Amino acid sequence: MLKSLAVIFVVTTLTFFLVRLMPGNPLDIYINSLLVQGIPLADAQEQAASIYRVDLSKPVLQQYVEYLAGIFLHGDFGMSITAMGTPVSKLVLKFLPWTLFVVLVSLIISFSIGLLLGMLMAYRRETWFDHILSAFASIMSSVPNYLVGMLIVVYFCVRWKLLDFSDLRGSHSPDVPVGFTLRFFLDALYHATLPILTYVVTTIGHWMLVMKSSTLATMGEDYVTVARARGLRDGRITLAYVGRNAVLPLFTQLALSIGSVVGGSILIETIFTYQGIGQQLNLAMISRDYPVMQGVFIIITASVVTANLLADLLYSRLDPRIRVQGR
């Protein structure tokens, strides 16, 4: 737990200074946009000063100390610069659930199907079934998810016209009230169809290959040989001995995948105009909204670290050999 807190602190520090190395700041970007419209420089500066109530002229170390004090003492991530008067925590709580919904649904689907296909590939190794699926998994795990997302838009929405892209924009329909109802769930699932499909296609190959490798290694263990010598049924050996032990190393990777997918949502949500935390991070980067960028990066880091810590604790419960070795 102390190591996890140290990682969060280091990432918080690096993020604070790295975002300020980006060229330009919110005031300069807004002033430049006014200059393009033909507004004189003096008027543009006066208008920007009246809108952005933020003092970026303070020493960076002073800003850093004040930022850390706000986070660790009060849990305050600051106020958004571009969305005046809006706390960063409010923006995160508003848009993060949509991203988590897409990520969790897609990972559950890809993880489940990947485990099943990976085990079948291991049991039918060196057959046409194994060769075809191994080639598919290798290609899909190598192609960037944003490229797959663009291909889905081009073929599913433009060329084949299977889906109406304009109807899928956003996270839910405006006329559907937000609430724990079946209608709202189906509507949210409909709007998340393309991001979920993209994540499933680009992550399923990894789970297939990892599960195949883990299953092959488990099938060579002595306790599997002893189980066969005892005359146990193949189904019981597959599920209770091979499958149960082969899936254990994948739990830690699943926890890390949640954070990596959330961090990579910026491109996917921008492509599909999905109103999640990734799209808000993209808008914050364009407008140089430092507090929003810092808050989103810290939330993503905390999510990854927490998920990894929980996976380590859960792994020791699932595999008694870890507890015995630790003692």
**Domain edges within the chain:** 2-74, 88-326
Which own/partner contact pairs does 67-73 have at CB distance under 8 Å and 24+ positions apart? 67/16, 67/294, 68/12, 71/12, 71/298
| pLDDT tens-digit series, residues 186-237 | 999 999 999 999 999 999 999 999 999 999 988 888 888 888 888 888 888 8
Single-letter code of the amino acid located at 126? E
Instruction: Return d(Cα 202, Cα 110) in angstroms, integer.
Output: 9
Superfamily holding 88-326: MetI-like (1.10.3720.10)
pTM of this structure = 0.83
| pLDDT tens-digit series, residues 5-18 | 898 899 889 988 88
What 3-state DSSP class applies to 150? helix
Report CA dihedral (269, 272, 273, 275) to the nearest 10 degrees: -50
User: Residue 22's pLDDT is what?
Assistant: 82
Q: Tokens 């604070």 sit at which residue?
A: 16
Determine the length of the chain: 327
Phi, psi of 153 (to 5 degrees): -65, -45
Q: CA quadruple 287, 290, 296, 300: dihedral positive or negative?
A: positive
| pLDDT tens-digit series, residues 237-282 | 888 888 888 888 787 788 778 767 776 788 899 899 898 988 888 8
Q: State the pLDDT confidence band at 291, using cuts at 50, 70 and 90.
A: confident
Instruction: Return d(Cα 30, Cα 117) in angstroms, integer.
Output: 52
Residue 84 has pLDDT above 80, yes or no: no
User: Residue 310's pLDDT is what?
Assistant: 80
